Structure formats: C-alpha cells, structure tokens
C-alpha cells in the first residue's frame, strides 16, 4: 500500500488531483485505523462463524423493527447497506466515489490527531445476483439498487468482507495521512466547496449538525 503524508492544504488537494479515475475513497478519523468492518471490531475472541451468526441475528431483528420504514421488497444486500449506513454493525465498510466527501469524514469529528483517507483503486462493481452476502467469498465493491437519501448525497458505496475479523489489505489500496494541524482549515475549505453536514445528511440531524458547526464561526 502506497502511503503519503499531507501537512498543508495544498498537499491535500494536490493528492486529490492525482486520482482522475473513478475510484473509491474512505475517510477515517484516526490515521492508525485499519480497514475492519464494524461487526469485526472488538470481537477478537470470536470465530468468523460466531460473528456471522451474530450478524445474521442483527439482520433478523433490524428487518422486524424497521419494516414500517422500508419498501415492500428489500433484498438481503440492500438491508445490510441500510443497516450499515445507520450504524448497525455489519460486514460492510462505507466508501464514496467523491474524495472530498472522504476528506470530510476523515476530519469532521476529531481535531487533535492525524487523520487518513484510503483509496481503493478498483472501478469494477459487483452486482448482487440473488446469493446471500453471508456466502460471498471475496472483497468487492457493492452498490445495492436501493439507496437512502444519505447514501445518494454522499455518493456512497460499500465493500463486502467475507471475514470481517481480518483487516483489509491490498495492492490496490493507497493511503493519505492528514496532519492534525490542518484539520480546521480543511473543514473550512470543504465548507467553501459545499461539503458539509447539511449537504451530506439531507435531514433534520444533518441540518442541526451543520448549525452547531457554524456556530463556532459566529
């Protein structure tokens, strides 16, 4: 994996401009974080089979509880994507086609640590074919047919991980480490470009988060 560091805004945007193909980007708030799906974090003492059983139980409970808010027909792949986007632990990881969105998610929460953006240099997308995501055998980009307004606003996509306990590594990955010292200037630059909570979370919560952030500049 190729890794570089940016200590200035110019270095950040020079890095962004090197990617002219339609790749996928993921921002992480701490540079040392590896690519492990949420369902696999803090589960070191469990086997992959135990994690799979626990995740399938989450799917069952989520489908039951969320039924009033879902379309009539939602595939297992689409349900996993909806769960992932609303913070339920799954074997998916969130990505975006927009590097500016990835930068926002890297720096939006923590200001005193270095951040990072991963790039998955793959443009092929796996199309679910009716099989279960729990039987998928390789790490692939997935874009389910059903998208929530948030997923659409964020140009969202996902990777599926057959073993969510195992950190994802690949020759197709690059990584940008962003110095903590430029966190606030970078957030402000992204705001100038229209990348902020109100745009990426087109709902009441997104509006509230945006107003709270803007209050710091009044």
pLDDT at 211 over 50: yes
pLDDT in tens, 97-136: 999 999 999 999 888 999 999 999 988 899 888 889 999 9
Extract the tokens encoding 203: 């709902």
Contact in structure between 168 and 36 (CB atoms under 8 Å): yes
- CA 134, CA 11: separation in Å to the nearest integer? 40
pTM: 0.89
- CA 36, CA 22: separation in Å to the nearest integer? 23
> Which residue, among 21, 196, 199, 33, has the nearest Cα to 103 in the 3D structure?
196
Number of helices (H) and strands (E), helices first, in the chain?
Answer: 8, 7
């Amino acid at each position: 994996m190729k890794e570089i560091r940016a200590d200035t805004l110019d270095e950040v945007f020079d890095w962004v401009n090197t990617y002219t193909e339609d790749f996928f980007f993921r921002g992480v708030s701490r540079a040392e974080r590896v690519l492990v799906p949420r369902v696999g974090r803090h589960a070191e003492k469990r086997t992959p089979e135990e994690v799979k059983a626990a995740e399938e139980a989450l799917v069952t409970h989520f489908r039951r509880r969320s039924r009033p808010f879902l379309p009539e027909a939602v595939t297992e792949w689409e349900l996993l994507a909806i769960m992932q986007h609303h913070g339920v632990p799954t074997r998916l990881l969130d990505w975006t086609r927009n590097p500016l969105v990835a930068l926002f998610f890297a720096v939006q929460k923590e200001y005193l640590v270095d951040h990072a953006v991963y790039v998955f240099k793959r443009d092929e997308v796996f199309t679910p074919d009716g099989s279960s995501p729990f039987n998928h055998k390789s790490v692939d980009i997935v874009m389910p047919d059903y998208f929530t307004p948030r997923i659409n606003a964020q140009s969202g996509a996902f990777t599926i991980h057959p073993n969510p306990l195992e950190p994802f590594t690949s020759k197709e990955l690059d990584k940008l480490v962003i110095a903590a010292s430029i966190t606030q200037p970078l957030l402000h630059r992204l705001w100038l470009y229209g990348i902020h909570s109100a745009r990426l979370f087109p709902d009441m919560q997104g509006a509230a988060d945006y107003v709270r952030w803007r209050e710091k500049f009044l």
